[in-house]
């Protein structure tokens, strides 16, 4: 399916063209394309095994693309090491949480800001005053995010001791601490209760509005996808199946086929 590269809006922040990913004999993605414009909330849906998470892993260089191209703000990322992706403005959350349970919430969120000022061993050893100043600036920045996410009360609690919904919220807070332009959320509402899902939707759209980030989310919770997303891309068996507004996608017979397996 062709993707319109001249899409309206702020121009593509993320453009993926004909991407192939193979793991040994498994052909996880077969010529997938996706364009995400600045300020959008773009939903990726599709049955299990459609390749949605593999696509996220390709964007963050955890999986290697065998063919096709991925561009972030127009820059090809094939040769960029995984740890540099966050510096290009792409932050992500993980499907089954990627948090550090033994660390406090504040420490987890401050790790999000690691790529901005972190990793200076010599400075930490020889210029402790400077290191402490940078640390306190980072802490201030992160505490503001915790405040915004209503997590200030648990800032010093071990992340592993918190309820699942709070951990998910913390993971998004950590992603935001990296000052991203694009946020990739992998099933942010997975495992949440009905009430939590609604709260979550509000949080995501608030993040987009307040922090000016573009959001791509993988989600199975149709209610959330339909109410939250500006645009929905449907994947099936490693290919693009359909694309459009939530209403268009919902009415697409191919999509209904893929989900319900109705005989043609």
Partner 1 sequence: MSTQLLRFAPAALVAALLGLPLFVPDFLLFEISIAVSYGIAILGLNLLLGFTGQICLAQGALFGVGAYTTAILNVSFGWDPVATLPFAAISAGLIGVIIGLPALRLQGLQLAIITFGVASAFPQLLLKMDTLTGGVTGLATDQPFAPKWFPGSQEAWLYGLSLICAAISIVVVTRLLRGDTGRMMRALRDNPVIAEALGVNLTKGRLAAFAVSSALAGLGGGLFCILNGFISPQSFLPMKSIDILIGGIVGGITSIAGAFIGALFVVFVPGFTTDINPALGGLIYGLCLIGMMMIARQGIAGLRMEKLPAAILGVFKFKSSSRFPGAVPGQLGGE
Which of 44, 40, 39 lies closest to 59 in space, CA to CA? 44
Site residues (vs partner 1, CB under 8 A) = 60, 62, 82-87, 92, 94, 98-100, 102-103, 107, 110-112, 114-115, 117-121, 124-125, 128, 131-132, 134-135, 138, 174, 178
The whole-angstrom separation of Cα 26 and Cα 22 is 6
Q: How far is the CB of 103 from partner 1 (least distance, A)?
A: 7
Q: How far is the CB of 111 from partner 1 (least distance, A)?
A: 5
Q: How far is the CB of 158 from partner 1 (least distance, A)?
A: 12
Q: How far is the CB of 149 from partner 1 (least distance, A)?
A: 18
Nearer to partner 1, 27 or 143 (CB): 143
Nearer to partner 1, 3 or 103 (CB): 103
The whole-angstrom separation of Cα 249 and Cα 236 is 13
Nearer to partner 1, 7 or 131 (CB): 131
Q: How far is the CB of 105 from partner 1 (least distance, A)?
A: 13
Nearer to partner 1, 134 or 218 (CB): 134
Nearer to partner 1, 20 or 123 (CB): 123
């Amino acid at each position: 399916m062709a993707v319109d590269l001249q899409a309206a809006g702020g121009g593509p922040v993320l453009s993926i063209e004909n991407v192939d990913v193979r793991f040994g004999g498994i052909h996880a993605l077969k010529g997938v394309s996706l364009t995400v414009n600045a300020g959008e909330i773009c939903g990726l849906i599709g049955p299990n095994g459609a390749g949605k998470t593999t696509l996220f892993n390709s964007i963050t260089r955890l999986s290697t693309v065998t063919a096709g191209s991925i561009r972030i703000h127009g820059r090809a990322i094939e040769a960029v090491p995984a740890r540099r992706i966050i510096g290009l403005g792409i932050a992500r959350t993980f499907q089954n949480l990627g948090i550090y349970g033994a660390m406090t919430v504040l420490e987890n969120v401050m790790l999000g800001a690691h790529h901005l000022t972190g990793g200076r061993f010599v400075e930490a050893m020889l210029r402790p005053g400077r290191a402490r100043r940078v640390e306190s600036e980072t802490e201030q920045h992160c505490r503001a995010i915790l405040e915004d996410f209503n997590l200030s009360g648990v800032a010093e609690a071990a992340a592993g001791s918190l309820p699942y919904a709070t951990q998910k919220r913390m993971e998004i807070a950590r992603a935001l601490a990296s000052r991203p332009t694009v946020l990739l959320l992998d099933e942010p509402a997975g495992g949440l209760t009905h009430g939590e899902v609604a709260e979550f939707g509000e949080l995501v759209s608030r993040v987009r509005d307040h922090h000016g980030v573009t959001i791509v989310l993988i989600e199975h919770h149709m209610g959330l996808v339909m109410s939250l997303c500006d645009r929905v891309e449907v994947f099936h068996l490693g290919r693009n199946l359909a694309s459009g507004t939530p209403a268009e996608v919902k009415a697409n017979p191919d999509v209904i086929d893929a989900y319900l397996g109705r005989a043609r």
